[in-house]
Structure 1
Amino acid sequence: MYPVLIEIFGIKIYTYGVLVALGALTAYWLVLRFAKKEGINPNHVENTLLLALLLGIFGGRLSYVIEHPEHVQSLTDIFAIWNGGMNFFGGLAGGVVGAIIGIIKYRLPFWKTADMAVVALSIAHAIGRLGCTSAGCCYGKPFPLDGSVLPGIHFSDKFPFFYVVFSPGAVAPPYMPLYPTQLMEFMGLMAIFLVLLLAYRRKPFDGFVFSLYMLLYGVLRFFLEFFRGVTPPISGIGLTWNQLVALLMIATSIALALWLYREARHEKVA
C-alpha cells in the first residue's frame, strides 16, 4: 500500500525491492547457519544459493511477464521488478534449476541441501509477500462488502475478516475493497516456516522437510487461488493453472516422501 518507501533527491526506493532483498538476506543467513551445523562447506552453499537466487529472479520475472503482458508497455517494464511483479512458480522453477547446478558442481548432499533450502525459502517468500502488499501485485478479487474505500487495511465480519484497499500508483485497482491475498499468504507462509523449522530439527530422513514443504505450500496455494484476482480460471476446468501446479506439488510430495522413507528403511536394514 506504500509502493515507494522513501524518495531522496528524486531517487525512489521501492518498498517491494527492499522487502524482497530483506527476504533474500534472511534466507542467506539461515542457510549458512544450517550449513555450518551440518558440516557442509558454507562457501559452496553460498555460491549455490546465489546461483539459485539469480535464476529464481529470472524465472519469476519471465513467467510474470508472459502471464501478464498487459503490464508491459515498454522494454524497461520487462526488467522493472522493483515495481512489483514476480510469479512464484516461475521463480521456484528457476531457483530449483540453479540449486541443482550448484549441488552437482560442488557435490553437495542433495536432499540435505533441499531440506535446508525450503526452510529458508518459506521465510524469504513470506517477507516477499509483504513486498507484494506494498506494490499491490498478486492482489485479490473484489471483497463482497460495501465498506470503506479509503486506502489501508479494514476489518469486517466476513472471512478472512479484513480486506485491503490500494491507493493510486499500486498494481492493484485503486479505491476498491479486495481480498487481502498477499497478507493471507504471508500468514500461511509464516505458519509453514515454523512447522518446517520444527520438522527440520526432528526429521526422520533427509528430504522429509522438502516433501513437507511441497505438501503444505501446495495446499495453501490451491486454497488462496480461489481468492486471487490476477489469474483467471481455465475454461472448462474452473481451476487456474497455478492450482494445477499446486495439485501436482501435493501429489509429488506424497509420492516423494513415501519413496524417501522406503529408501531410508532399506539403508538402515543394509
Structure 2
Amino acid sequence: MENIQPLNRVALEIGPFTIYWYGIIIGIGITLGWLLATRETKKLGLPKDIFSDLLLWAIPTAIVSARIYYVLFKWDYYSQNPREIVAIWEGGIAIHGALIGAVITAIVFAKKKGVSFWQLADVAAPSIILGQAIGRWGNFMNQEAHGTEVTRTFLENLSLPDFIINQMFINGSYYHPTFLYESIWNIVGFFILVIIRKLHPRIGEVFLSYVVWYSLGRFFVEGLRTDSLMLTDSLRIAQVVSLVLIIVAAFAIWFRRRKGYAKYQYIYTYKNK
C-alpha cells in the first residue's frame, strides 16, 4: 500500500479550540462574495450596507436549513441518534438546504427593506457561485464529497498537481476529485454571470441563469459522487432537485417576460424596481 499522508485538515489549535481549514475556506468564500456584492450595490445606488445586514440573517439561517435538509433525508439514522442532530461539527450539511434557507431569508429581508428581491438576487448570484467554487476546496481538505474509485494514472492523465492527486488517496484507493470538477464549473459560471450582467438582461435573469448553470453542473457531478443523499436506492436527491430547479428557472424566465414582470433591465440607472 502506498504511504501517502493527507494534508492536515486542522489549520490551527489554540488551547481547547481547533480551527479547521474547512471553516477558513468557507469564510474566505463568504467574505469575497460579500466584497463583490457590496461593490455592485454602489453602482446600483442601493444602500452600501444592505448585504452586510442581509448576511447577518442569511448565514445562520442557511447553516440551520442546510443541516435540517440533511437530517430530514437521513432520518432513519438520526431518529435513532437524536443527540447527533445538532452535531454539525461532525459534518452533514446540504447546499440545496442552505440555498433554500438563504432565498427565503432574502425574500423576507427585501420586503422589510422595501427593495426588490430580484435585484438583490441578481447582485448576489455571481458572489454565490464564486463562494461555492471556493467552498468546495474545504471538501478537498476534508477528503470528502469525492467520486467513485479511479487509478492514479487516470488522475495523472488529467494533468493534476501531485498535492491534489495525493489528497484523493483515501483509505488505500484513489477517487474522482468531484470537488474540483464542481469548483471549475462554478468558476466558469461566475464569469458567464458577470458577462450576462453586463449585457443588461431583465431583472431576475442573472439569478435564474445562476440556478440553471449551477444545477446543470451539479446534476452531472452528483452522478459521480459516493456520498449522495438518496431518495431511493437508485435516485439521488440532488439530481432530482437540480432537474426541478432547471425547469422552474427556465419557466420563470419565460413566464416573467410573457407577463411583463421582468420589464426592467439590469442597468446601473434603476433603483428598487
Establish whether TM, by shorter chain, passes 0.5: yes
Aligned residues: 255
Alignment match, 2:226: 229
Alignment match, 1:42: 48
Q: Distance in 1 between matches of 2:140 and 2:176?
A: 11
Q: TM-score, normalised by structure 2?
A: 0.81
Post-superposition shift, 1:74? 8.1
Alignment match, 1:51: 57
Q: Distance in 2 between matches of 1:125 and 1:30?
A: 14
- 8 Å contact kept, 2:73–2:230: no
Post-superposition shift, 1:31? 1.4
Q: 1:182 corresponds to which letter in structure 2?
A: F
Structure having greater relative contact order (Cα 8 Å, sep ≥ 6): 2
Post-superposition shift, 1:160? 9.5
**Aligned in 2, Cα 1:22/1:68: closer, same or farther, shift over 3 Å?**
farther
Post-superposition shift, 1:45? 3.2
Alignment match, 2:4: none
1:22 has 2:19 as partner: no
Q: TM-score, normalised by structure 1?
A: 0.82
- 8 Å contact kept, 2:197–2:206: yes
Q: How does 1:98-247 map to 2 (within 5 A)?
A: 98-143=105-150, 145=151, 147=152, 155-157=155-157, 164=165, 166=167, 174-231=171-228, 234-235=231-232, 238-247=234-243
The answer for unaligned runs of 5 or more in structure 2 is: 1-6, 266-273
- 8 Å contact kept, 1:65–1:78: no
Stretch deviating more after TM superposition (207-216 or 36-45): 36-45
Post-superposition shift, 1:32? 1.1
Share of identical aligned residues, percent?
A: 25
Q: Which of 254, 257, 260 is the aligned partner of 1:258?
A: 254
Deviations 1:62-117 (A, max 9, x none): 32344457699784773443x54421001111111111111111011221111111
Q: What secondary structure does 2:157 align onto?
A: coil
Post-superposition shift, 1:18? 0.4
Q: Distance in 2 between matches of 1:173 and 1:73?
A: 27
